[in-house]
Structure 1
Amino acid sequence: MVFSIGAYYPYSLPVICKAATTNNNSHAHDAMYIRRAADIADKSAGFTSPHPNFGCVITSVGNVAGEGYLYAQGTKPAEVQAVEAACECSRGATAYVNMEPGDCHGDHTAVSALVQAGIKRVVVGIRHPLKHLRGNAVRALRSQGLRVDVLGEDLQSKIIEEARKTCLLVNAPLIHRASSRVPFSVLKYAMTLDGKIACSSGHASWISSKKSRIRVFELRGRSDAVVVGGNTVRRDNPQLTARHGGGHMPVRIVMTQTLNLPEEANLWDISNVPTIVVTQRGARRSFQKFLAAKGVEVVEFDILNPRDVMEYFHDRGYLSILWECGGTLAASAISSGVLHKVYAFVAPKIIGGRNAPSPVGELGMVEMSQALNLIDICYEQVGPDILISGFLQPIPDLTPVIPSEDETFAIDPTVTPYDSNVIFFYKTWDRYGAFSNFSPHPIQMPDGNGGYVTWSSVEHFYQAQKFVGVNDPIAQDCVERIKSAKSPEEAARIGRLMQRQCPDLVKSDWEHVKIDVMYRALKSKFSIYPHLNSMLLSTAGSVLVEASPHDHFWGGGREGEGLNYLGRLLMQLRSEFLGESSMLGESTY
């Protein structure tokens, strides 16, 4: 069965409240609008990542009255947008959501919007994949007297099951990541009709057509990161940008055991997008220092293999990764079980060559019965090429309940170096995600003139303060762009990019004041919102750790060696709110 995710609809529709002919096939209606909710949810994929994709469609007497989609965590929920578009037509209407709302802890914006608008019925495509969020919104809506139907549970038929499948597909990255502890990974390659990805000489430009290459840019723009091996860097010197994709720029990841890489490479230019090199511990120390001097992050592993690398990037919060590697690394990734989907561009060309490389190396299979069969195959013509896509692994069933990230830490002591009395937070979907500086909680800060300025999040304020007061029009423009950024993720990208490109524009004392800047922003946040204050106080007696494995200043670091200043600041605030004395320098481990 082929399902299309990505047929985009307008952001919102004009209000329509005229009567329509009653359709006796209510299942067909429910399926149609759930698929529409999934389609518009897909519009935000990659623009601000990582975050789940939410869409909402409100219908009144058989017509669409309003719709919207979540652009990113920290922005206006899809349900709120749809209610605003539908206006008075929301009363007595039906709302269709592709996935159960999953607000930060203590926030009920999406649920409240539907209840207060007078929605009578809500149809949910799938329940939330994360255990600590799953079922919360459904129960809350039902407790307010709304009828809530969940596809596959309350509603069953073949057409309903197909609609449910679209909901699984549009959030496949989150579902796979939550169930397997690795990001959703897609293998992409272009090959000739006779199965070659390059000539015997290694020349490969270009196998696929320009239209196919533009499609690849779009795939990159929907991904958190792009993975290549050392051979690809040496042979092709790629840029790995999404310059025609319309989405964000994914991080570039290079996997290499020996670190035998050239000193001159496009990937070492991090002025626009970061590069991370993962390698074997101890490999070419001098070259590691060379890369570090250029701003390229190097991460060492005792034994470099795709499974460990992907588990590490899972812990960094990545949802979706695109693999554009050669056959050797592709075979290793497949054997490790970390690849979930394949996009194969087949060009109508024949080049032959006994030694010409193929897209997948040795897998140890000796009989056709051992071949891996793709699931949910889709065929599409892209220019002169044929794009074949399909899943290597089925999308996990949401039953039994998938454990949330922090619960997995508690269950499996091998996952984290910390003790059970440690509370972890990182991404806004975590149980304690509201502690994050990226959480969707606007704050008010003094403007220096006796008034106050509202910032969309702690991260917005923090990033802007790098450039506030710098007497340069570029710095002042950067502050305004950060302030108006649609989400905390975008504010962070703008601030970090400017800091990399123009370090002279960052205020001279930034490294000395940034802790105080973060502290003041956090204090405002936990003073404004009583439910956040209560949650913080409820953690008394526990150590708070920002679980970022790559941030050794604000986070706990990969092996617990990080300074964890964000956790320290929260514990200091907690002590202050409890009336205790606390010093920032006290031991937190």
Structure 2
Amino acid sequence: MTDTAHRAPDAAIEAAMRRALAIAVQGPATGANPQVGCVLLDARGEQVAEGWHRGAGTPHAEADALSQVSDASGLTAVVTLEPCNHTGRTGPCAEALIAAGVARVVYAVADPGEVEGGGADRLRAAGVEVSGGVLADEAEEFLHPWLTSVRLGRPFVTVKWGSTLDGRAAAADGTSQWITGAASRQRVHEQRAAHDAIAVGTGTVLADDPSLTARGDGGELLPTQPIPVVFGERPAPADAALRQHPAGLIELGHRDIPRALDELYARGIRRLYVEGGPTLASAFIQAGLVDEYLIYLAPMLLGGPKTAIGDLGIGTIHDARHLSIHRIETLGDDILVVARPAKEQ
């Protein structure tokens, strides 16, 4: 199956990978499965089919693309993620490609799953030409939360807070509505919908009685809702708004963060949004278990003791936690800073 007559031109391969990344976005960002796109090319490099994964239990991207052609013999499959090699709700994509007679498979990044990985080796063993690393940087960034989660064996953790320019989350008397503007608040709802679960502490539940739903501009519920997760020994009150959440409720009964992340990962949660106030956010930071920070800054000053982040156990500037600014957005009068832990030098 490695006859060079079946090789699509390199320029066509790269263009197909960009198309595969573009269509992968149409799949759900939440859930245990990644967003994956696949494009099938003929020997001239012309696209003959494409597919993407639409969520758990639906055909994977490769199977979706293969279903659109009557004969895939000699085609090249361009996939954003290494084809899987295990049977879950659907069969192994590596086996489907082999059975279809695909001559060559090109992927962007390897599947880090202990069970799912190994598809490239299985394809090669069957005589299929395989190569990886095409547009790897773009694919790594696109799949960053999912890849991080699977590689670490825990949910990708996003910590969010809103504050004034001097780092205050509330005035001295405790009032905080509204520090950030409407555009920032709507972006928060969109980010909630892009995560599997949203975490708060018991103190926030008792003080604010939040609903933690993801809503649109008009207050309507968005199609995807994060599962509320409550950290703390005390259960939420029987009449708490969280108990009416459309996605249910997870009460952990403890504040052991590493243990909680293990439990949530076992439930299929791959993206966790921490929005539970200074105490919980600081605990995640101090534990070194934050993968991305979403910091909303409003152009005002408050002063006083109500800081957005509490004590991190840092006694000297040399122990500061360094961040890398990933991007900055303007939302109305506010600024959103997206940062990640800085890589060790």
Q: Report the TM-score when normalising by structure 2.
A: 0.83
Please show how residues 184-199 of structure 1 align to structure 2 within 5 Å: 184-199=156-171
Counterpart position of 1:123: 106
Matched-pair contact (CA < 8 Å) for 1:193–1:346:
yes
Counterpart position of 1:237: 209
Asked which structure has the greater RCO (Cα within 8 Å, sep 6+), the reply is 2
2:293 is aligned with 1:342: yes
Matched-pair contact (CA < 8 Å) for 1:58–1:86:
no
**Structure 1 residue identity aligned to 2:303:** G
Q: Cα deviation per residue 1:391-422 (whole Å; 9 max; x = unaligned)? A: 2276xxxxxxxxxxxxxxxxxxxxxxxxxxxx
Separation in 2, partners of 1:228, 1:54: 31
**Structure 2 residue identity aligned to 1:374:** L
Counterpart position of 2:23: 40
Counterpart secondary structure, 2:124:
helix
Separation in 1, partners of 2:151, 2:103: 33
Structure 1 residues 333, 122: closer, same or farther in 2, change over 3 A? Answer: same
Once the two structures are TM-superposed, the CA of residue 129 in structure 1 deviates from its matched residue by 0.9
Counterpart position of 1:288: none
Counterpart position of 2:120: 138
Structure 1 residues 126, 56: closer, same or farther in 2, change over 3 A? Answer: same
Separation in 2, partners of 1:186, 1:100: 26
Separation in 1, partners of 2:62, 2:194: 23
Counterpart position of 2:242: 267
Counterpart secondary structure, 1:186:
strand
Matched-pair contact (CA < 8 Å) for 1:331–1:362:
yes
2:253 is aligned with 1:253: no
One of 42, 63, 82 as aligned partner of 2:65? 82
Please show how residues 488-507 of structure 1 align to structure 2 within 5 Å: none
Counterpart position of 2:301: 351
Counterpart secondary structure, 1:268:
helix
Matched-pair contact (CA < 8 Å) for 2:113–2:151:
no
Structure 1 residues 237, 108: closer, same or farther in 2, change over 3 A? Answer: closer
One of 321, 328, 331 as aligned partner of 1:372? 321
Structure 1 residues 190, 36: closer, same or farther in 2, change over 3 A? Answer: farther
Counterpart position of 1:319: 270
Separation in 2, partners of 1:387, 1:59: 40
Counterpart position of 1:70: 53
Structure 1 residues 167, 384: closer, same or farther in 2, change over 3 A? Answer: same
Once the two structures are TM-superposed, the CA of residue 119 in structure 1 deviates from its matched residue by 3.4
One of 94, 102, 107 as aligned partner of 1:111? 94
Structure 1 residues 197, 66: closer, same or farther in 2, change over 3 A? Answer: farther
Q: Report the TM-score when normalising by structure 1.
A: 0.51
Counterpart position of 1:518: none
Once the two structures are TM-superposed, the CA of residue 199 in structure 1 deviates from its matched residue by 2.0
Once the two structures are TM-superposed, the CA of residue 330 in structure 1 deviates from its matched residue by 0.9
Separation in 1, partners of 2:14, 2:264: 35
More strand by share: 2
Separation in 1, partners of 2:332, 2:69: 40
Counterpart position of 1:387: 336
Separation in 2, partners of 1:309, 1:109: 31
Separation in 2, partners of 1:201, 1:86: 66
More helix by share: 1
Matched-pair contact (CA < 8 Å) for 2:294–2:337:
yes
Residue identity over aligned pairs, in percent, reads: 29
Separation in 2, partners of 1:58, 1:178: 27
Matched-pair contact (CA < 8 Å) for 1:56–1:67:
yes
Counterpart secondary structure, 1:232:
helix
Separation in 2, partners of 1:362, 1:374: 17
Counterpart position of 2:199: 227
One of 271, 276, 281 as aligned partner of 2:250? 276
Gaps of 5+ in 2: 1-7
Q: Cα deviation per residue 1:239-285 (whole Å; 9 max; x = unaligned)? A: 1112338442221111124x286554211224x22122233xxxxxx
Matched-pair contact (CA < 8 Å) for 1:50–1:224:
no
Counterpart position of 1:306: 257
Structure 1 residues 216, 113: closer, same or farther in 2, change over 3 A? Answer: same
Separation in 1, partners of 2:189, 2:269: 19
Separation in 2, partners of 1:312, 1:182: 9
Q: Cα deviation per residue 1:36-65 (whole Å; 9 max; x = unaligned)? A: 433433332346x22232221223434443
Query: What is the aligned residue count?
Result: 330
2:284 is aligned with 1:333: yes
Larger Rg: 1
Separation in 2, partners of 1:80, 1:351: 55
Once the two structures are TM-superposed, the CA of residue 314 in structure 1 deviates from its matched residue by 2.2
**Structure 2 residue identity aligned to 1:388:** V
Structure 1 residues 181, 97: closer, same or farther in 2, change over 3 A? Answer: same
Structure 1 residues 72, 263: closer, same or farther in 2, change over 3 A? Answer: closer
Once the two structures are TM-superposed, the CA of residue 109 in structure 1 deviates from its matched residue by 5.2
Please show how residues 417-436 of structure 1 align to structure 2 within 5 Å: none
Once the two structures are TM-superposed, the CA of residue 32 in structure 1 deviates from its matched residue by 4.7
Gaps of 5+ in 1: 1-21, 152-159, 280-300, 395-589
Counterpart position of 2:41: 59
**Structure 2 residue identity aligned to 1:344:** I
RMSD: 2.9
Separation in 1, partners of 2:317, 2:50: 48
Structure 1 residues 228, 130: closer, same or farther in 2, change over 3 A? Answer: same
